[in-house]
Structure 1
């Protein structure tokens, strides 16, 4: 008897599981290389440049902080991946939460791409790393302002975080970075290192256009789901199987961008991973009835938009 093809839900679950395992292995290898980068890798290039600066330990600490952010973002992505699997296994049509989870994964992957982009200089990476650190320090301040007077220790928490922000800004300025601060709030706005500027508040839309141009449309659609926009709810139509595949399909391009930058920075190859991802991409296209012929891996990667 011929083997029956799995239905779209089971197929999507299988691909999400497989892709998750691939990302976990890639992340493990990359993070290991962050601490002991191979010769010739962008990570080693950063370390060598840091060693030539007057505050080598502090500069290297900036890169280490960015690596910690990458590890945290990878963990967060995994949580959302598991949430997608749980939603798929629920036996109900739940497009909005699935799309919101895909958007969260997209957002985290874009920030990882920005921090690990193997094509940027050590100076630009330091600016991005410092901006990322400041975002972690001051990101909760607006929320703490709303809690001031509501919680007993709200004022103390706010003061502690504001002092940490001031200390971080002073530290970065001490090692030669320029930090622009908004006078009315004290919030850091951007960091400059030898002419390279990084915004503290990352503009994910710009990052999506840069790192995932072929599925940038998904950023807007999934943002609509996250914000419960009625235009999206009214616009969802068609067979559920087709909607299901289209929701998860962008994860494959997001995966390509992630491994290209993450592994590229660590001095590791990503070609075989992206080949396997492209096989899954074609499989989904065939199941949704997209007419061929389909671009092979070489043709797909030759598109300058996916470099």
Structure 2
């Protein structure tokens, strides 16, 4: 019996990875009520519970809001993965949508990494927690500006929400930094001595968390914006492009496991070994002569190409 078509193999790998991630995330969320000793989650809870009652209540509300945002990001990521399955198994070869979907998944996991990286201090996480929620509310108003005048009532509602969340955050102990020419638009937020900008720099975040596959971010950007350099550079068999877009997403899956399970203090090795087996199966289709060995060996090889000592 011959080999499976590459699109079918890719779809199977995506489905296996989705199943594994659902199991891991379900396990992580079950740890929320009783944080493990030494975990970043427990450190965050300890800092929040040490605050005065009013501040503590608002900080707990913001923490709950952040979890809701992450759940929404994960749901979006799953949609992109399902779309990628359809692209890989489609009758036509669709390299631009494939790279675009890969970039979208990459970006979603980067957003989560920046918030729940277990290496962050609790103070930094609290600052980012509020910053991302304030930026999202402000972004809603910016988006509504593009709509016709009949949406004015909705604009007024969002403007009121911005006033409300700013007051809520200030009562939680945050200092909001406004744009000089528009005091209604925040550019940064501080918690204690930690100041965070509201500007989203996904490219820098990719270089920080995914230096060995940053090319996936660059290529996906070229595809999403139909850049001539990307279109003119397309060549080679469909198998190569499928492997080239899916393989980095297995590294992204490893990162998501490290971030979420690392935050709650759960072990990650079994998930990495399973993902690595799928990685080896995928690479065997285009590079059967390459042996990746264990996950640890693969990761060591990837890290050796970049400086791992990057400040977060």
Cα displacement (A) at 1:291: 3.8
> Aligned match of 1:265 in 242, 248, 263?
263
Equivalent residues in 2 for 1:100-179, closer than 5 Å: 100-149=100-149, 152=150, 154-179=151-176
What residue in structure 2 maps to residue 34 of structure 1? 32
Residue matched to 1:277? 275
Equivalent position of 1:47 in the other structure: 45
| Contact 1:34/1:67 (<8 A) preserved | no
Aligned to 1:184: 181
Shift of 1:134: 0.7
Give the superposition deviation at 1:148: 4.5
Q: Is the 8 A contact 1:31 1:71 kept in 2?
A: no
| Equivalent position SS for 2:110 | helix
* Distance in 2 (alpha carbons) for counterparts of 1:279 and 1:200: 39
**What SS does structure 2 have at the residue aligned with 1:191?**
strand
**3-state SS of the aligned residue for 1:178?**
strand
Corresponding residue pairs, total: 302
**TM-score, length basis structure 1:** 0.92
Which runs of 5 or more structure 1 residues have no equivalent in the other structure? none
User: RMSD of the alignment, in Å?
Assistant: 1.8
Does the CA-based 8 Å contact 1:178-1:193 persist in structure 2? yes
* Residues 58 and 171 in structure 2, CA contact (< 8 A), matched pair in contact too: no
Deviation by residue 1:35-62 (Cα, 9 ceiling, x = unmatched): 4423332111111110001221211222
Aligned counterparts of 1:89 and 1:8: Cα–Cα separation in 2: 8
SS of 2:188's equivalent? strand
Q: Is the partner of 2:63 in helix, strand or coil?
A: helix
Counterpart of 2:292 (choices 281, 294, 306) is: 294
- Whole-Å separation in 2 of the counterparts to 1:268 and 1:229: 41
Gaps of 5+ in 2: none
Q: Residue 256 of structure 1: CA displacement?
A: 0.8
Q: Distance in 2 between matches of 1:106 and 1:35?
A: 29
